[in-house]
Amino acid sequence: MKWNKKHIFLAILLPFQVLLVQLAANNPNFIERYYSNGIYPYISKFLRIVLGWLPFSFGDVLLAFLLFIFLLFLYRLIKSKFKNCVPKFIHFFAVLSVIYFCFYLFWGLNYYRKPLAENLNYQQKKYTTTQLLKVTESIVEKLNFYQFKITNNDTVKVVNPYKQKEMYKMAVLGYTNLETDFPQLKYQYKSVKSSLMSLLQTYNGTSGYLNPLTGEAQVNDKIPKTSYPTTVCHEMAHQIGFAAENEANFVGFLAANYNEDIYFKYASYRMAFSYCISELRKRDSKLSKKLWQKVNKGIVKDFNASYQFWQEYKNPFEPIVKKGYNAYLKANKQDKGIASYNYVVDLLITYFETSKNL
């Protein structure tokens, strides 16, 4: 039986790393100052500079390689009938220890930073249904305006004319404009790419993801393009250190909204409306139905088309994947799991009420 001292050392480090991460989770001020606004910006910029120029997703290739190594490990373990399995498991946990370290150093500690609301000096309180309705009505007005401005007909569905790669470049312009009012949301050195696993992402119901090991924003290039701008901006928000999904949604909304392109603005209000109307439906279904009647028919057609798109890819494995992702989010201080995406409504209401957009 062969023993590798390096593997043993790295494997032993894993539980200590887990303990340190849990300690860090209880010190958001420390994380905010020394990590999120300390070393992380340099790490993220370095990764985007080194890998951003590649025309393909290096992160997808890396994930595929790691999956292959894992399957090979299982195959050899079973083939050997678990003979001399202890050093093999030590080797496995040594590799896991390295990945765990890189995950939290390169990006993951952002889960434990101070809330974005504090960062923006937002005084958040529990909002009422009346507040929600007022904000949603304002969003509907803006959404109707941009839909009509694009189509010149309130019954025609918006068709985004841009190619995916064009939108990756255009998204940066929104962040450049955003920086004037929100300097803490500065974005530099683009590294946004179409995922090589877009079809797989479509089947598991995801629109994109940030690869924490490579710093690349991976976007599912098969999703409907009317929502594409906000998806791109959402993943870019992850890149600048906002790990919580509701916060990335809000920053994504802002970046798309601050973009001068009309299709980006339409996408921003489209996303804001989808979250707000969903929350309103939970509180008062009659009010939400009444508000839907004020939405241009062309917008309704757009939402129906998106719904039909995702329905075509429904499969038995999607709920399993979502449960796994739900557990992952909860393990990283997002207590509501996937439902945490919806908490963007809190930020949207505060923004609209304080920015005089009502």
Domain coordinates in residue numbering, the chain: 5-112, 117-354
3-state secondary structure of 117: helix
Query: Are residues 189 and 180 in contact, defined by beta-carbon separation less than 8 angstroms?
Result: no
Cα dihedral sign, 326-327-330-335: positive
The neighbouring-strand residues paired with 219 are: 194, 208
> pLDDT value at position 336?
62
**The two three-digit tokens of residue 136, written as one number:** 């949603």
Distance CA(23)–CA(13), nearest Å, equals: 15
Q: Report the b/e string of 36-72 with b at 16+ CB within 10 A.
A: beeebeebbbebbeebbeeeebbbbeebeeeeeeeee
**The two three-digit tokens of residue 215, written as one number:** 């710093």
Backbone angles phi, psi at 117, to 5 degrees: -55, -40
Which residues are within 8 A (CB) of 196 and not within 5 positions of it... i.e. 6 or more apart? 56, 57, 60, 61, 64
> pLDDT value at position 87?
84
Residue count (the chain): 358
> pLDDT value at position 318?
77
3-state secondary structure labels for all residues of 57-90? CHHHHHHHHHHHHHHHHHHHHHHCCCCCHHHHHH
pTM over 0.85: yes
| pLDDT mean values, one per 10 residues, the chain (358 residues) | 81 95 92 96 96 94 93 86 83 94 96 92 86 96 98 97 97 97 94 95 93 96 97 98 94 97 98 96 94 97 96 86 74 63 85 76
To which H or E segment does residue 122 belong? Answer: none
